[in-house]
A and B are shown apart, each in its own frame.
Chain A
Amino acid sequence: MTGLIYGLSALGLSVIFGVVRIVNFAHGEIMVVGMFGTLVLFRQFGVDPLLAMPFIAIILFGFGYLLQDWVIRRVAHLADHMQFLLMAAVAVMLIAVCLMVFKGDAQGVRVRYALDSFAIGSLIVDKVKVYAGVAALITSGALFAFFRYTDSGKAIRACGDNYVGALVVGLNVRRMFALTFGIGCACLGAAGAIMLLLIDVHPYLGPAYTLLAFTIVIVGGMGSLPGALLGGVLIGTSEALAGIILQPSLKTAFSFGLLILVLLFRPQGLLGRASR
């Protein structure tokens, strides 16, 4: 279940890289902003994080759209390392803003069902994780449907597949890129809202989730949406199994072991396309 939420957050990274070809080093920090936004809605208006999810996704969509159109677009022609630095700078600024506004404390929400669980015989399943997993699946399904069945989704895919071709057929590539970055950030907002049900948020949470998202996306296949979801589920499951079969303290080492194996034997990722 946790793997599904990991997967949803990694979808944001994969969508952006697959189309805009920007490696979003501010990935975790944008998710943290989504978590803080959810926290504010919960504390000020009593909005359940699951209900807050669409609002946060819309707000972060706007943030992502403007970030791409006003800032990232202007450095897109520069060398890769300049783009990396720009995104790292955005990450640092987001951490600083979160620290100023929310301070360094870990903060969380306590919803009515926070400590409930389902019992199926001797098997006990965390209710929050079930809800969160279902929400992640629905969000991912909506995203897949958008890219597959809508004109905008198809246009975005066309821009990702063939940039020059998209220009030639008259697609507004600038708008499509901004839309894509917005969608990527909306995924992060949705993942952040769900994640707040599981863990407390603090401004320094971002880098760990950026690293996790990269691991998932590389395992699943950079730029592949089903790959991101599969990678999330695989990493979540492998961590749980490592904890049960080996030692819980080896969980992280196990997921990075998986990453190394994929890089050695299938560098394009499990569902990625090999570059020619």
Chain B
Amino acid sequence: MTGNPHRNQARTGITRRAFTVGMGAAGIVAGTAPFNVVRGQGAVLKVGVLLPRSGVQAGIGQDCQRGVEITNGILRDIGLPPLQIMNGDTESDPQIARAQAEKLINEGAQLLVGAFDSGQTTTIAQVAEQRGIPLVINIAAAPPITEQGYKFVFRNFPTAPVILMDAFANQKEVFQSSGATPKSVVFMHVNDTFGTAMQKGIGDIFPKADMPYKIVETIAYDPKARDLSVEVAKAKATGAEALLMVSRLNDAILLTRELIKQRWSPMAVLSMGPGWYEDQYLKTLGNLSDGPLSFVPWYDPNKKLSKALVAALAKAYPDVNVATNHIYTFEALLVAADAHKRAGSTDPKALADAIRKTNITDNVSPGPGIRFNEKGQNDKLSNSAIQNRGGKHVMVAPKAAANAKAEVPMKPYDKRG
């Protein structure tokens, strides 16, 4: 090139040096592009785990967290990619749950898991759907959550009607095997989203379930109640032989204390939700926690992954019994890791597509495995009946999986020393 170099520069706006640097940079970018794809595939999936870690459900939220803590070790053992967990605290409040979901997404969460409670899960599901981030529900039973036509919401937990149908079937089996059947019950339930969904479900299903008892009174109460003496006095006054319960943890403890104070030992406590089998319930009440029957989503002890989960939890938390909170929180994260591996990407849309095609047969919960229907619901789950005994749980129904016989009537509280 001849003539004034400055004139050439003015004409093209590019110097030879700039051109060379630009080409070099373009070459580096082009040359490493395939590695970018590889890096995208190998990137760790950021999972926002929303749980009630404080507030009235703190005990349960922290129990779910134990399921989170042991997950990456198990995933590694079965050849799934580990997850980067981002913790969010819903403070047991649906509106805070919504804000925390937004916050985790803004901070880079590519998938959400949570949130134990139906009310909190409902608000998180709305955020997940709006933002196009998959939500894998660990625990929440209110049916409407997967009836909204959401495309990014998936639930590997039975809905309230399924829990109830299985519960009534298992109750009949328990009464038959123990030889003791209550003729009347008082139905007490928390009046939150889950409790009212269960109450509605019982209203629909009970008349068709052909149960041997009648419900003589229904008592709704505030899950945040500081005092349940009036509720128990009212239930006792009906003269019912047993209690049918839909509870949370704190109220289950309060109710048990009130039963003892008011000198009432029902023939059975039949719980269709959390609370009565939780570790904190067992530890807080000691031998007074023995006896209640819980009809809940549990685990299949014969599955290979169940044994791995039991071993991992025993190693990390020797004093903690495996329970619903650990099982279904772990399985939600298992779904996330499995989808991440198959999608080969952390793109939320690709993850949602992969979750829709989930087919995990090596899992923990009872039933054929984890698969989602067109609504995002795993409708193949079944429930179990367990009883508290000596600070542990025994499975009393269904017969095929039972490892003990139900003790009904339960030992009166005043005869326990």
Contacts and interface: CB of A to CB of B under 8 A. Distances in A.
Interface of A: 2, 99, 104-106, 108, 114-117, 119, 124, 126-127, 198-200, 202-204, 208, 239-240, 243-244, 247-249, 251-252
A243 B231 contact: yes
A108 B191 CA distance: 24
B290 interface: no
Given A99-B54, A119-B263, A204-B54, A104 B62 contact: yes
Interface stretch (B19-27, B117-125, B215-223, B311-319): B215-223
B91 A204 contact: yes
B261 A116 contact: yes
Nearest to B188: A248
Interface residues of B, number: 34
A190 to B, nearest CB: 18
Contact of A198 (B55, B62, B226, B262): B226
Contacts, number: 77
A249 B91 contact: no
Given A117-B263, A124-B262, A244-B233, A251 B250 contact: no
A20 B151 CA distance: 57
Q: Select the residue from B62, B219, B229 with max chain A CB neighbours within 10 A.
A: B229
A136 to B, nearest CB: 15
Interface in B209-253: 219-222, 224-231, 233-234, 250, 253
Given A104-B55, A105-B62, A126-B261, A244 B230 contact: yes
Interface of B: 53-56, 58-59, 62, 91, 191, 219-222, 224-231, 233-234, 250, 253-254, 257, 260-263, 280, 284, 288
Nearest to B228: A248
Given A99-B54, A202-B54, A204-B55, A249 B220 contact: yes
B230 A251 contact: yes
A200 B230 contact: no
Given A199-B226, A252-B222, 8 more contacts: A104-B53, A108-B284, A200-B250, A243-B230, A243-B231, A248-B220, A249-B220, A249-B221
Given A106-B59, A203-B54, A248-B234, A208 B261 contact: no
Contacts of A204: 54-56, 91
A200 B256 CA distance: 14
A74 B262 CA distance: 51
A124 B59 contact: no
Nearest to A208: B224
The 7 A-B residue pairs with the shortest CB-CB distance, nearest first, are A243-B230, A104-B54, A104-B58, A249-B220, A115-B260, A248-B231, A248-B221
B191 A126 contact: no
B227 A198 contact: yes
A42 B219 CA distance: 35
26 contacts: A99-B54, A104-B53, A105-B58, A116-B261, A117-B262, A117-B263, A124-B263, A198-B226, A199-B227, A199-B254, A200-B250, A203-B54, A204-B56, A204-B91, A240-B229, A243-B234, A244-B230, A244-B233, A247-B219, A247-B220, A248-B222, A248-B234, A249-B221, A249-B222, A251-B230, A252-B222
- Which residue of B58, B224, B226, B257 has the most chain A CB atoms within 10 A of its CB atom? B226
B257 A248 contact: no
B189 to A, nearest CB: 10
A106 B263 contact: no
A249 B191 contact: yes
A244 B262 contact: no
Contacts of A243: 230-231, 234
A251 B226 CA distance: 11
A203 B89 CA distance: 14
A211 to B, nearest CB: 12
Contacts of A247: 219-220
Nearest to A200: B250
B269 to A, nearest CB: 16
A249 B59 CA distance: 23
B233 to A, nearest CB: 7
Contact of A2 (B91, B221, B227): B227
Contact of A248 (B58, B219, B224): B219
B230 A248 contact: yes
Nearest to A108: B284
A198 B258 CA distance: 11
B45 to A, nearest CB: 27
Contacts of B53: 104
A251 B222 contact: yes
Contact of B59 (A105, A116, A240, A252): A105
Nearest to A104: B54
B261 A106 contact: no
A124 B254 CA distance: 17
A43 B144 CA distance: 45
A126 B54 contact: no
Contacts of B220: 247-249
Contacts of B230: 239-240, 243-244, 248, 251
A117 B236 CA distance: 15
B285 to A, nearest CB: 9
Nearest to B249: A106
A240 B227 CA distance: 10
Contacts of B62: 104-105
A126 B280 CA distance: 24
Nearest to A236: B227
A136 B260 CA distance: 24
Given A106-B250, A247-B220, A114 B55 contact: no
Contacts of B221: 248-249
A106 B254 CA distance: 12
A240 B228 CA distance: 10
B263 to A, nearest CB: 6
